[in-house]
A = this chain, B = another copy of it.
Amino acid sequence: MKTSVIRKVIFHSAHRLHNPKWSDEENKKVFGLCNNANYHGHNYELHFKVTGAIEESTGYVIDLKVLNEILDKEIVERFDHKNLNLDVKEFANLNPTAENIAKIIYELMRMKIDKNLEIKVTLYETPKNYVIYPD
């Protein structure tokens, strides 16, 4: 039977929700406070899940030290203490909603994790709002 291992990491980022094709009024109406011109921010809490078989010699699905190094390099270094809109090229033309951040994390990690392993992203923007991709 398949088994999953989940590792939690945190990053602290500024962002702003904005659609450049829309007027300021339209943006304000749809995104409300999240459209604030000078940004706001969050402690993003990422639960990254890897699903596969338990390897017999180690008792591991994946070595968490290895997974953690990949998460640090691919996600934390890229997003932590950054402005997602200005500092992260993946959001140059993509609105950094929690849904889109989760999707980008999935795509960045999918390139680094063995194709025999399934992956899933759960991302808390606040303790009250979170997203799952894919689900």
Task: Give 1 or 0 for each of A80-114: 1 = CB within 8 Å of chain B CB.
Answer: 11110011000000111111101100000000000
Q: Are B40 and A133 in contact (CB under 8 A)?
A: no
Residues of B within 8 A of A57 (CB): 19, 21-22
Residues of B within 8 A of A41 (CB): 12-15, 39-43
Q: How large is the interface on A (under 10, 10 to 19, 20 to 34, 35 or more residues)?
A: 35 or more
Residues of B within 8 A of A133 (CB): 1, 3-4
Copies of chain A in the complex: 6
Q: How far is the CA of A120 from the CA of B64 in the complex (A)?
A: 22
Residues of B within 8 A of A9 (CB): 128
Residues of B within 8 A of A75 (CB): none
Q: Are B83 and A5 in contact (CB under 8 A)?
A: no
Task: Specify which of A8, A130, A135 lies most central, judged by the most chain B CB atoms within 10 Å of its CB.
Answer: A135
From A55, which residue of chain B is reached at the shortest CB distance? B99
Q: Are B30 and A99 in contact (CB under 8 A)?
A: no
